[in-house]
């Protein structure tokens, strides 16, 4: 290899940092995940909730139908294979926690800081779907449930982003720039 090739590879790997918390793509993915998660509560876009509140009529019917379809689907999956999903999720979250915080694998730390709060949102979604189905929520009651679900999701997201940012800054300051 010539000196130019080595410089090119070094420059490329400095630009595309392979560590998670100093990688711009991780932070973009984190923002997109939480933005999407808070916009689509129970698989229902939030603009549909606002449109149903403003317009009523067909928009309200569409919202109720979409919520009914998504809550029935979510509760069916939970009833049929919820224990298996919970078991695998706990296994993977535990594995990531051990790899990340016991063995110091930064990629696993990034995944657990993203995955654990999303698992909380998943449990919140199951709880909200059950409440909607038990109440047979419609109209104003349904919109209030979806709004509350969105607010709780945003709170979980804000706390998650804050903790991830603190841990990422700590990692970047403690590891320092890559030795070259």
Backbone CA torsion sign across 150, 156, 162, 167: negative
Q: Which has more pLDDT, 125 or 24?
A: 125
The answer, yes or no, to whether residue 12 has pLDDT greater than 80, is no
Instruction: Sketch the domain layout of the chain as residue ranges.
Output: 57-173
Q: Per-residue confidence at 175, pLDDT binned at 50, 70, 90? A: confident
Q: Count of CB atoms within 10 A of residue 10's CB?
A: 12
- The reported pTM is 0.83
pLDDT of residue 130: 96
> Which two structure tokens, joined as six digits, stand for 132?
């909607």
pLDDT tens-digit readout, 97-112: 999 999 988 899 999 9
> Which two structure tokens, joined as six digits, stand for 34?
């939480």
pLDDT of residue 102: 95
pLDDT of residue 126: 96
Rounded mean pLDDT of 64-92? 96
> Which two structure tokens, joined as six digits, stand for 145?
């449930």
pLDDT of residue 171: 87
Euclidean distance between the first and final Cα of the chain, in Å? 17
Q: Which has more pLDDT, 179 or 169?
A: 169
pLDDT tens-digit readout, 107-157: 999 999 999 999 999 999 999 999 999 999 898 999 999 999 999 999 999
The answer, yes or no, to whether residue 180 has pLDDT greater than 50, is no
pLDDT of residue 172: 84
- Single out the residue of 84, 80, 79, 87 nearest to residue 130, CA to CA: 79
The answer, yes or no, to whether residue 179 has pLDDT greater than 50, is no
Please answer whether residues 111 and 24 qualify as being in contact, where contact means their C-beta atoms are separated by less than 8 angstroms.
Answer: no
Q: Per-residue confidence at 9, pLDDT binned at 50, 70, 90? A: low
């Amino acid at each position: 290899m010539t000196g130019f090739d080595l410089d090119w590879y070094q420059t490329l790997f400095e630009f595309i940092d392979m560590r998670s918390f100093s990688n711009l793509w991780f932070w973009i993915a984190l923002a997109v995940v939480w933005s999407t998660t808070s916009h689509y509560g129970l698989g229902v876009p939030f603009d549909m909730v606002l449109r149903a509140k403003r317009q009523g009529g067909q928009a309200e019917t569409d919202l109720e139908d979409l919520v009914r379809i998504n809550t029935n689907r979510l509760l069916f999956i939970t009833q049929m294979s919820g224990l298996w999903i919970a078991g695998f999720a706990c296994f993977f979250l535990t594995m990531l926690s051990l790899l990340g915080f016991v063995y110091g694998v930064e990629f696993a730390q990034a995944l657990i800081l993203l995955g654990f709060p999303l698992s909380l949102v998943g449990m919140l979604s199951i709880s909200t779907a059950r409440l909607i189905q038990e109440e047979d929520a419609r109209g104003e009651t349904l919109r209030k449930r979806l709004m509350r679900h969105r607010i709780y999701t945003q709170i979980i997201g804000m706390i998650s982003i804050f903790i991830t940012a603190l841990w990422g800054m700590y990692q970047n300051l403690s590891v320092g720039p890559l030795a070259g």
